[in-house]
């Protein structure tokens, strides 16, 4: 257990005073061999101690303190329902995207030197309709070369990778990506400069929605981008979240209405970990992988995604109350990737 133990402890120490005293507690308890906790005490005392530790843990789920959305310049509560449709000019849907460097706070007291599209992580959720012509005016105002690589069907020249088409967009340079919105579904965009893992991990990614021509049924629509942050540059993540801020939706739950159709656009851009997952408590959802078919593939309560995978979840909450959702990779949940839906009548 040596390596795992060292790894877990050092990773949690990086969370600083906040999560290390709260979220990490039950985990640390779980990992400490029982004799070191209970040595020299009776089984009854051990049981009481066990209960006390477990209770302390469960009473302090999440982090202590808050991340100030004003300091970050973006708010995960807003990102949930913020769809950027750009502007339509001469029959072309168009966006201006700027890559910059920016320090952001990803958990209370934990700062991260991010790279951002339009000032936020994840970048804006770009939304278009199937078949439209799209144009992205991309400017690199950072100090490293960057690109924008869109998932979808388009010509190689518009693929946003080094050495093809415009290739790397150097610091201070601009380029224009132009292609048609196809196929309909839930996609993503991200920087494709090398080293690729670092350019993604730093925060250069966002959701990209192409609505089917006939649209989808009306719903309360939410965007959740599952991400992680490697705060000590060891190519593994110390913080996990949806929409960047660890434990964000624990303190400020996602508010939805009982009986209303809720549609979650769920994207996994977590770097360094092969899989991430989404699990909702006390409910089930229809799952549409990549959103490219109008019929759901699954009716389930848990979905597992590799890097770059995404899908649409549709569900209704039959009862009011607070319902957890979190990564079913427990380590991720304990390091920030958990939250609540708060269902009101
Ligand atoms: Cu980049």
- Which residues pair with residue 165 across a beta bridge? none
The count of structural domains within the chain is 2
Verify that 256 and 161 share a domain, yes or no: no
For 272-302, the pLDDT digits (tens) are 999 999 999 999 999 999 999 999 999 999 9
What is the length of the chain? Answer: 345
Verify that 181 and 230 share a domain, yes or no: no
Among residues 274, 336, 338, 333, the alpha carbon closest in space to that of 106 is found at: 336
Flag whether pLDDT at 32 surpasses 90.
no
For residue 177, the enclosing domain spans: 69-211
Tell me the DSSP string of 254-310. Answer: EEEETTS-EEEEEEE---SSSEEEEEETT--EEEEETT-SSS-SEEESEEEEETT-E
**CATH code of residue 310:** 2.60.40.420
Question: 57 lies in a domain?
Answer: no
Among residues 205, 227, 253, 202, the alpha carbon closest in space to that of 337 is found at: 227
Verify that 79 and 187 share a domain, yes or no: yes
Verify that 102 and 207 share a domain, yes or no: yes
Instruction: Tell me, in angstroms, the distance from the centre of ligand 1 to residue 311's CA.
Output: 24
Verify that 261 and 294 share a domain, yes or no: yes
Neighbour count for residue 273 (Cβ, 10 Å): 18
CA 290, 123, 102 angle in degrees (round to 5)? 150
Instruction: Tell me, in angstroms, the distance from the centre of ligand 1 to residue 140's CA.
Output: 9
Q: Which residues surround ligand 1, an ion (CB under 5 A)?
A: 146, 191, 193, 199, 204
For 34-83, the pLDDT digits (tens) are 333 333 445 555 554 444 444 444 445 777 889 999 999 999 999 999 99
The tokens of 87 are what? 């502007």
* Predicted TM-score (pTM) of this structure: 0.84
Give the strand pairing for 110-117 and 92-107. antiparallel
Instruction: Tell me, in angstroms, the distance from the centre of ligand 1 to residue 241's CA.
Output: 21
Verify that 228 and 196 share a domain, yes or no: no
pLDDT of residue 63: 78
- Last residue of some domain: 153, 185, 211? 211
pLDDT of residue 60: 52
Question: 153 lies in a domain?
Answer: yes
- Last residue of some domain: 183, 211, 239? 211
Mean pLDDT of the chain: 87
Query: Could you give phi then psi for residue 109, rounded to 5 degrees?
Result: 85, 0
Flag whether pLDDT at 328 surpasses 50.
yes
Instruction: Tell me, in angstroms, the distance from the centre of ligand 1 to residue 179's CA.
Output: 21
- Last residue of some domain: 211, 240, 274? 211
For 255-276, the pLDDT digits (tens) are 999 999 999 999 999 999 999 9
């Amino acid at each position: 257990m040596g390596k795992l133990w060292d790894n877990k402890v050092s990773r949690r120490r990086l969370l600083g005073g906040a999560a290390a005293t709260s979220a990490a507690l039950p985990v640390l308890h779980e990992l400490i061999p029982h004799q070191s906790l209970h040595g020299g005490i009776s089984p009854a005392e051990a049981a009481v101690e066990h209960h006390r530790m477990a209770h302390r843990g469960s009473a302090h789920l999440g982090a202590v303190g808050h991340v100030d959305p004003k300091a970050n310049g973006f708010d995960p509560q807003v990102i949930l329902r913020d769809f950027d449709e750009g502007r339509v000019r001469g029959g072309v849907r168009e966006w201006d995207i700027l890559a910059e460097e920016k320090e952001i706070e990803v958990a209370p007291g934990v700062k991260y030197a991010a790279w951002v599209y339009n000032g936020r992580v994840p970048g804006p959720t770009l939304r278009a309709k199937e078949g439209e012509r799209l144009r992205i005016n991309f400017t690199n105002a950072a100090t490293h070369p960057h690109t924008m690589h869109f998932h979808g069907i388009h010509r190689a020249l518009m693929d946003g990778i080094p050495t093809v088409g415009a290739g790397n967009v150097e610091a201070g340079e601009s380029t224009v990506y132009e292609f048609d919105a196809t196929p309909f579904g839930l996609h993503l965009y991200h920087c494709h400069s090398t080293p690729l893992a670092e350019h993604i991990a730093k925060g250069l990614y966002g959701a990209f929605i192409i609505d089917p021509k006939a649209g989808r049924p009306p719903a309360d629509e939410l965007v959740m981008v599952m991400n992680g942050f490697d705060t000590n540059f060891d190519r593994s993540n110390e913080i996990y979240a949806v929409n960047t801020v660890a434990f964000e939706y624990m303190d400020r739950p996602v508010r939805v209405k009982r009986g209303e159709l809720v549609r979650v656009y769920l994207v996994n851009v977590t770097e360094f970990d092969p899989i991430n997952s989404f699990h909702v408590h006390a409910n089930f959802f229809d799952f549409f992988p990549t959103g490219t078919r109008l019929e759901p593939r699954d009716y389930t309560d848990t979905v597992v995604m590799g890097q770059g995978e995404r899908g649409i979840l549709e569900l209704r909450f039959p009862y009011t109350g607070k319902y957890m959702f979190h990564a079913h990779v427990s380590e991720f949940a304990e390091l920030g990737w958990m939250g609540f839906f708060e269902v009101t009548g």
